[in-house]
């Protein structure tokens, strides 16, 4: 199966093409490429570099959040537009599941955290049942200090939020290597492929980004309306 995978939940977007679970090529794009005007040409260049035409794509896997409001909107919109034009299947992939899937080693339980701003984190917990990951609980918002105090030694900890918390992590914490903290499009594609094989399908018209909370602008607007 020919797969195009998109990851735009963090500042640096990545695009990957895979055949089944085998990565063919992955490209990093800076934050300046994470706009609707720049991202579509970037996808076209990625396909051209491996000799694929848009209609060759059979599955589009896209990271759907949580993460950057702007980035997720760009990624999901690009994925839906391309799926509509080509007839490819589309799957939205939970970003925190992607990060957990990048953890290597013997750890059965994995804790993922992304920045929720306002001295808070969005946390999700997973249990590894090879080759699958099982969500122990859905993502939740928790204060930075409350989360730090709750860390246990028998869990692997990962996620982009660690970049600003690394100096405060207790000695008992088992921290995943930093190169695996941020989600990668290659992992989005592999998770999407396994989901597709399991029979999972997304409704093209209903697929939307997942945010852990409203943006500050949306919260201000909601406050004015109440």
Sequence-distant (6+) residues with CB within 8 A of 177 are none
Residue 198 tokens, joined: 């399991």
CATH number, residue 198: 3.30.420.40
Is 46 inside a domain boundary? yes
What is the pTM for the complete model shown?
0.91
Least confident of 51-60, 129-138, 139-148: 129-138
Which residue segment(s) compose the domain that 206 sits in?
2-95+183-215
Is 220 inside a domain boundary? no
Q: Are residues 61 and 124 in the same domain?
A: no
Count of the separate structural domains present in the chain: 2
Q: Are residues 194 and 167 in the same domain?
A: no
Q: Are residues 73 and 84 in the same domain?
A: yes
Is 19 inside a domain boundary? yes
Q: Is the pLDDT of residue 112 over 80?
A: yes
| pLDDT (tens digit per residue) in 21-80 | 999 999 988 766 656 777 888 899 999 999 999 999 999 999 999 988 888 999 999 999
| pLDDT (tens digit per residue) in 188-205 | 999 999 999 999 999 989
Q: Read off the pLDDT band of 217 (50, 70, 90).
A: very low
- Using DSSP, state whether 204 is helix, strand or coil: coil
Is 133 inside a domain boundary? yes
Please give the Cα distance from 10 to 14 (Å, whole number).
9
């Amino acid at each position: 199966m020919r797969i195009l995978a998109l990851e735009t939940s963090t500042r640096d977007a990545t695009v990957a093409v895979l055949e089944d679970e085998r990565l063919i090529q992955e490209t990093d794009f800076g934050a300046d490429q994470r706009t609707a005007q720049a991202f579509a040409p970037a996808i076209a260049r990625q396909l051209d570099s491996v000799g694929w035409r848009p209609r060759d794509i059979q599955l589009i896997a896209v990271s759907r959040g949580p993460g950057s409001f702007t980035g997720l909107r760009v990624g999901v919109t690009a994925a839906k537009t391309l799926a509509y034009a080509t007839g490819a299947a589309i799957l939205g992939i939970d970003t925190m599941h992607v990060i957990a899937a990048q953890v290597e080693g013997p750890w059965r339980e994995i804790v993922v955290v992304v920045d929720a701003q306002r001295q808070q984190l969005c946390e999700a917990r997973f249990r590894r049942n090879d080759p699958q990951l099982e969500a122990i609980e859905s993502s939740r918002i928790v204060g930075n200090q409350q989360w730090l105090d709750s860390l246990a030694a028998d869990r692997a900890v990962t996620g982009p939020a660690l970049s600003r918390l690394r100096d405060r992590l207790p000695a008992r914490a088992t921290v995943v290597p930093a190169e695996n903290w941020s989600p990668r499009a290659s992992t989005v594609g592999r998770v999407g492929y396994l989901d597709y094989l399991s029979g999972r399908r997304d409704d093209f018209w209903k697929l939307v980004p997942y945010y852990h909370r409203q943006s500050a602008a949306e919260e201000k607007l909601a406050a004015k309306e109440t």
